[in-house]
Amino acid sequence: MPENFKLTLAALRVNKGLNQEEMAKELGIHKNTWMNWESGKTFPDIQDLEKIEEYFSVPYKNINFYP
């Protein structure tokens, strides 16, 4: 992936074929938490960023956290 290429959380989730509720379960978080991250209302903390990086195999610098 090119260094300046960024995916949104929604795009990452859709690429995995998951809805928001399924994605939240995969990460062990509440569905509303995922929805808030995806919409840019809130931002994941460090531990959650690590979960996201590991799950998607994408470094956080390649994720656009704003819709």
CATH number of the domain encompassing residue 54: 1.10.260.40
- What domain count does the chain have? 1
Q: What average pLDDT score do residues 24-52 get? A: 96
Residue 44 in domain: yes
Q: Cα 62 vs. chain centroid, distance in angstroms?
A: 11
Report in angstroms the alpha-carbon separations of 60 from 17, 24, 25.
20, 18, 20
Q: Quick check: pTM over 0.85?
A: yes
pLDDT of residue 1: 46
- Quickly tell me which residue has 């690429």 as its tokens: 15
pLDDT of residue 67: 73
Residue 28 in domain: yes
- The token duo for 15 is 């690429």
* pLDDT for 4 beyond 80: no
What residue numbers bound the domain in which 55 lies? 7-64
Sign of CA dihedral 13, 1, 66, 46: positive
